């Protein structure tokens, strides 16, 4: 099974990057392969271009998008890993989804937006926030993100959403014991869905 790990955080040594690494290690330990897309380190341009939109005279993916699509073409699972900023995913991740998972790759079969192209593949999400998980739930933030970036996105693309796993209370002063426990949770969650 091939897992695409797509994560967005400007700091290379962040909790988000550590979660991505823990997921990769779990996938490899289970005999899977990994395609990691560290959006900040690869310098991905998140700005959708006019010519990348259906209806444009020269409609088609830009070279960077075509290269990303080629990397993801045979992936069975898409793991989105990101922090909540202003109670939403980073613009970098949203731009990646807009451009790479656009018409002709993730949806648009027979020229219709309602026809998904990634049917049979899976989606799993890992998010974090400085705010406690209880606050993220009570304010409706978690439900809103799950609606837009799990269920709606998955349906548009034909993906099967597995779970959205949120880690609240993550901050620069968070103890190493807490961090290590959450990273162990990543492996547990992975194994629950994919086994060893």
pLDDT digits (tens, 9 = 90+) for 116-167: 999 999 999 999 999 999 999 999 999 999 999 999 999 999 999 999 999 9
Is this prediction's pTM over 0.85?
yes
Task: Mark out the alpha helices in the chain (DSSP H runs).
Answer: 15-29, 63-72, 91-100, 133-138, 141-146, 153-157, 176-194
Residue written as tokens 């997921």? Answer: 23
Distance CA 43, CA 61 (A): 17
Fold of the 2-194 domain: Rossmann fold (3.40.50)
- 153 CB-near residues (< 8 Å, 6+ apart): 97, 101, 123, 159
- pLDDT tops 80 at residue 62: yes
């Amino acid at each position: 099974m091939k897992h695409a790990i797509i994560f967005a955080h400007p700091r290379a040594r962040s909790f988000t990057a550590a979660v991505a690494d823990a997921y990769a290690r779990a996938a490899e330990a289970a005999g899977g392969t990994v395609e990691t897309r560290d959006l900040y380190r690869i310098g991905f341009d998140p700005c959708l271009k006019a010519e990348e939109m259906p209806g444009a005279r020269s409609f088609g993916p830009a070279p960077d998008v075509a290269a990303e699509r080629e990397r993801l073409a045979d992936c069975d699972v898409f793991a989105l890993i990101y922090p909540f900023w202003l109670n939403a995913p980073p613009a970098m991740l949203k731009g990646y989804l807009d451009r790479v998972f656009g018409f002709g790759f993730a949806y648009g079969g027979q020229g219709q937006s309602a026809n998904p192209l990634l049917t049979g593949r899976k989606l799993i999400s890992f998010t974090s926030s400085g705010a406690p998980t209880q606050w993220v739930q009570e304010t409706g933030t978690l439900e809103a993100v799950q609606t837009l970036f799990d269920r709606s996105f998955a349906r548009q693309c034909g993906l099967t959403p597995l779970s959205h796993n949120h880690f609240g209370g993550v901050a620069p002063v968070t103890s190493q014991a807490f961090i290590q426990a959450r990273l162990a949770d990543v492996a547990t969650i992975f194994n629950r869905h994919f086994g060893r």
